[in-house]
A and B are shown apart, each in its own frame.
Chain A
């Protein structure tokens, strides 16, 4: 027996005239996530995407491959049957019953786009209901509040039978690339990968920038961030990560600026470097994992001073979230276990003993003037390397 996947999408339905464009993006992203030689054909009809796998491909494996694509509300497995009523009833009922272990009541809804089919929809529903009851005696029909909704669809060339008890929930959101491009400042911590996930979920195409401080940070610390980026890429598809060696800059800040301003000046310099990379790549905003009040550099005063270092829009999707809420998402998307590996991060290499929590921009600018900011920003850009990140 053959099976197909029915993909339902969420918010795209709300789109008016653009809907087609969004759907096409979603289909493109699904094809990319599945990989070559997994999907034989795709058909869109009435807000459902019908996906036929290539021959020999495991249907569950395909569902898993595409389940993280943003824009998908749910994925349902459906059995494909010959358009013969006896076959549909016999094989179709057996097929859906196999998904109804945890179900007590059900209801059947039939639909035929082929109006020449010798049975009409109410007849098909009634017959299928009877077939299911005879296959599984403990089940009962409940048309008001069924645990499972069984559907029979009679198409031009074949019939589909499926149950909503065989559904996989998607991550929702909007198709990646439907909402422009933004540049994520990614560290090895818990927050920034979650921030990247959240903006990508709103349809943003990501690129990422990561700062390293060898030899204060290790190769393993960098590999950890690459691995985090690969997890994000499971949702977003591949993207580019720029790796900026930042040791000399950090040493210059340490040697020239007041200790209590080290972190905030470092963050401002990082924003300036990232802004330049973003502009070069026609990215429209920066994304950070900042959360109000989490650490000294994320007080409202410190955020204002950091913000003043760039003229670009800075997206901070975690700004109003508690650490516990952020951790919950990190666990859900699979970055948490990697984030908590104990490698030193470039932000924790030179930490002032008493960092200023209420910086004033004029004071920071004064401290900064002891550095040749432009020189160090340009030097960082010269030394920057890029890595292509693909989902693993």
Chain B
């Protein structure tokens, strides 16, 4: 099995499984309990929070555990959109559905949602985002790395520009596809809120985190319960998941990027050289995502054919569940959107796997292109 769909999810690192099972065996208490069993679980939580805070260069008190990227995005946007501070919210049209669908909700609640379209190469022009910010804007939310094309968006520039125009604006970024792959430091980027997820970095599903910059005390609540996570995300903490997430974070190794970059470059250039293959993306892209269109072979045909050869890739975001239309490529007005395939890599990806995939694609094109 060759797995090149790491933007959908990643395999759980063996070390993470080890950490989680030992936590299940030994630290199964409720971290809110005051007795010895509870305190033990509380220590797991504390250590994990510290570890994630360190990797983002923030303080422990700024990290809130959630059930994953989608919940982090929801809590951030629903919390920061505040009609009293302004009715305008600025975002992009290539965000993940976790942001786009929440924006639809905000729109229905009376907000004016401005969605900035991408350039033809899938990048977002920070200038266009900043231009949309006015004195009645309360929130800007733009993703750090696009999940379909890998485009890296200059969040630092957006945050700086937006705040220069309106100091009260809160800036959120969905860093689910960048965390663990490129540097994601909220303070350096100048954002107030950042969403990250565990299962994209070889941790378990069902856990993520939201960074909320200290000093922001007026986020509106969208989940109600027993007071955990300072009421930002109440509910008994998923300690096993959080322990696994923290372990996965300690294993992040940005020095792998160069090797992955070379694999991506090799795959890109060899496949482009076949002819009638098109690159969907921009130059400043994540090393971990490569999106190509194979003229004459529809996405699902390529996907199924690779699947039957034991190679897992994807045509659009996996969260779209079986539907192959990509709104990201549509927004880019990509000419061969129906023929797009996303390859996404991880630190476990080998050169041999890339070579085999290239060979498989050559065969498939020969058989099914028309």
Contacts and interface: CB of A to CB of B under 8 A. Distances in A.
Contact of B308 (A215, A220, A341, A344): A215
Nearest to A255: B370
B368 interface: yes
B300 A344 contact: yes
B301 A342 contact: no
A218 B303 CA distance: 8
A341 B304 contact: no
B308 A214 contact: yes
B322 interface: yes
B316 to A, nearest CB: 13
Nearest to A219: B307
Interface string B63-74: 000000000000
Contact of B322 (A215, A216, A341): A341
B307 A218 contact: yes
A219 B304 CA distance: 7
A376 interface: no
B323 A218 contact: no
B368 A215 contact: yes
A215 B305 CA distance: 5
A239 B305 CA distance: 29
A226 to B, nearest CB: 16
A164 to B, nearest CB: 45
Contacts, number: 29
Nearest to A218: B304
A94 B12 CA distance: 57
Interface string B299-313: 011111101100000
Interface in B20-52: none
A342 B322 contact: yes
A344 B303 CA distance: 13
Interface of A: 214-220, 341-344
- Which residue among B301, B305, B323, B364 has the maximum number of chain A CB atoms within 10 Å of its CB? B301
Given A214-B304, A214-B308, 9 more contacts: A215-B300, A215-B301, A215-B303, A215-B368, A216-B304, A219-B307, A342-B322, A342-B323, A343-B322
B304 A215 contact: yes
A215, A342, A343 interface centre (most CB from chain B within 10 Å): A215
A23 to B, nearest CB: 45
Nearest to B306: A215
B124 to A, nearest CB: 29
Contacts of A344: 300
Nearest to B302: A215
Nearest to A343: B322
Nearest to B305: A215
Contacts of B305: 214-215
Contacts of B302: 215
A245 to B, nearest CB: 11
Contacts of A218: 300, 303-304, 307
Interface residues of B, number: 12
Chain A CB within 10 Å, residue with most, of B302, B307, B323, B364: B307
A215 B303 CA distance: 8
Contacts of A341: 322
B301 A220 contact: no
17 contacts: A214-B304, A214-B305, A214-B308, A215-B300, A215-B301, A215-B304, A215-B305, A215-B307, A215-B308, A215-B364, A215-B368, A216-B301, A217-B304, A218-B300, A218-B304, A342-B322, A344-B300
Contacts of B304: 214-219
Nearest to A216: B301
The list of the 6 closest CB pairs from A to B, nearest first, reads A215-B304, A215-B305, A218-B304, A215-B301, A216-B301, A342-B322
A349 B364 CA distance: 17
A219 B309 CA distance: 12
Contacts of B301: 215-216
B1 to A, nearest CB: 14
Contacts of B364: 215
Contacts of A343: 322
Interface in B260-304: 300-304
A341 B304 CA distance: 17
Interface in B324-368: 364, 368
Contacts of B300: 215-216, 218, 344
B322 A220 contact: yes
A377 B36 CA distance: 72
Nearest to B301: A215
A342 B302 CA distance: 17
A343 B301 CA distance: 12
A312 B274 CA distance: 50
A216 B305 CA distance: 8
Nearest to B297: A215
A162 B305 CA distance: 59
Contacts of A217: 304
Nearest to B364: A215
B339 to A, nearest CB: 14
A336 B368 CA distance: 33
A216 B300 CA distance: 7
A218 B302 CA distance: 10
A214 B306 CA distance: 11
Interface in B217-256: none
Nearest to A217: B304
A216 B304 CA distance: 7
A171 B141 CA distance: 54
A341 B321 CA distance: 10
B182 to A, nearest CB: 33
Nearest to B322: A342
B86 to A, nearest CB: 39
